[in-house]
Amino acid sequence: MKRLVLLIVIIGFSYSCSNNHPMTTQVQVEQGLIKGSMDGDVLSFKGIPYAEAPIDELRWKAPAPKTPWEGTLDCTKFGPSPMQTSPQAFFMWSEEFLIPAAPISEDCLYLNVWTTAKTTDDKKAVMVWINGGGFTSGSGSVPIYDGSELAKKDIVYVSINYREGVFGFLAHPDLTSESPNNTSGNYGLLDQIAALKWVKANIENFGGDPDNITIAGQSAGSMSVSYLIASPLAKGLFQKAIPQSGAGILPLAPTSSSTFANTLSTAEKTGLAVAKQFEVSSLEELRALPAEKLLTASVRLAPNIDGHVMPKSPAELFKAGENNPVALLTGWNENEGLAYGPLPTMDSFKESLKSNYGALADDMIRLYPSSSEEELKTSVADLARDQLFGSQNYTLAQIMASQNQPVYVYRFTRDVPAEGAYIGFKAFHTAEVPYALATLDKVNRPWKESDRQLSGQMSTYWTNFAKTGNPNGEHLPNWKSFDSKNHQVMYLDEKSNTKELHDAKRLQFFYENLYLNQ
């Protein structure tokens, strides 16, 4: 009898461990075997195809499942980056913020995984990074998105590519007609959803937990995170979200006809203009155009409210409670509203507020004063920051808090050390990324020890949040949660601390008048 019990125990133990395999540079995924590389304790797998190449007849179609391959696929180098005009360093962004791995190709649906898991049963938290770039540029291979250091903080880190610009967001009446969902234009978002489905299905083989996934991104990547939170097609694919500087929920002003996402009909008109620009009259001709020629399209494209990926506007989905309920870590940077054009006069600034805000103009003039040249300069920059980023992420924080989700808000205020042409940009747009992803060493700046300490704090906050939904941990300044009454925000700087959001009245004004009352 004892032998029988012992045999049952042994069989049961063997069965429970049957899926627990040591991690090696070879990993089995749904489509076949892949080979990665080891650097110290970090295993990396780069250029994993998660969908078929969106070329030829698959151009401007939803991503198709990747056909299985035979043998072992080499995944030791990044796959091609999405089609985009040749990226160049400009303004405050040196090449480390912008330049993806070559080549650049329409065949771009690849992702990358970094892990320190020892076995496939480690169940590490997973973070999936979605790059910024205004929906027209960028790649998961841009240096500041490298995942090696975050993987060392005990998570599995994934960066993805998605179609951008005319390839990712072109809508057209004929594309809508041929679609089984009667929609067109949101191919880049569909790519992101396909990548998340791939991650959920395969990440356990890299030691990740498919039920503990955080999506994160900055700028257009942050807006993507916001739209994925809202989209019914992304339900169940992630549990937490980190949108950094961007949400695309509010119009820029009451007179704006929509948020950053146009209606499908408006997007289709833009698509017709593209076809006219290239003097083509059919989808067949449009799909036959060389990718390089399509890059010259004189339009700027972004997601649209297509009735499928986005059944309604993000604001409508959030108000109806139809969004994905997620724990949220979100914020924006202090100097994201730097003005590049000539400074308006005091009178013209006030006139623009009256024109854009109508009955709310007096409130706006009081919130953004311009009684002196210095005050005008500050208000112009602050307004640009708040319209594009501050009010957007603040509103998303308020929404998630109202849905009783854990919410943590930051304000990145560190003046980034700089030399030469990069002096004077302070806490600029995207400046927080190399701090949060622990990639300071990828960026050529005169970093101080305080910057490395801040990066250590931020990257630990980010990975703690990915693990538990709470950024706090040992040896870290306490980060108080945000709610609708107590606007507690973590100010991230050489000395980080939580305090009341200093300009909450401004952001609350946007939230109440452009969201609640719309």
List the catalytic residues: 219, 336, 429
What are the Cα distances from residue 374, in Å, to 158, 253, 378, 429? 44, 24, 6, 22
Query: For residues 184 and 267, what is the distance between their CA atoms, to the nearest angstrom?
Result: 9
Which tokens belong to 270? 């833009």
What are the Cα distances from residue 413, in Å, to 147, 334, 428? 24, 5, 9
Give every CB contact of residue 193 below 8 A, 6+ residues apart in sequence. 228, 231, 233, 234, 237, 309
The kind and range of the H/E element at 498 are: strand 497-500
Strands of the sheet containing 497-500, edge to edge, are 37-39, 42-49, 110-115, 155-160, 124-130, 208-218, 240-244, 327-333, 407-412, 488-492, 497-500
Give every CB contact of residue 491 below 8 A, 6+ residues apart in sequence. 410, 411, 413, 497, 498, 499
Length of the chain: 518
What are the Cα distances from residue 402, in Å, to 281, 326, 387? 49, 12, 22
Give every CB contact of residue 501 below 8 A, 6+ residues apart in sequence. 394, 409, 411, 487, 488, 489, 507
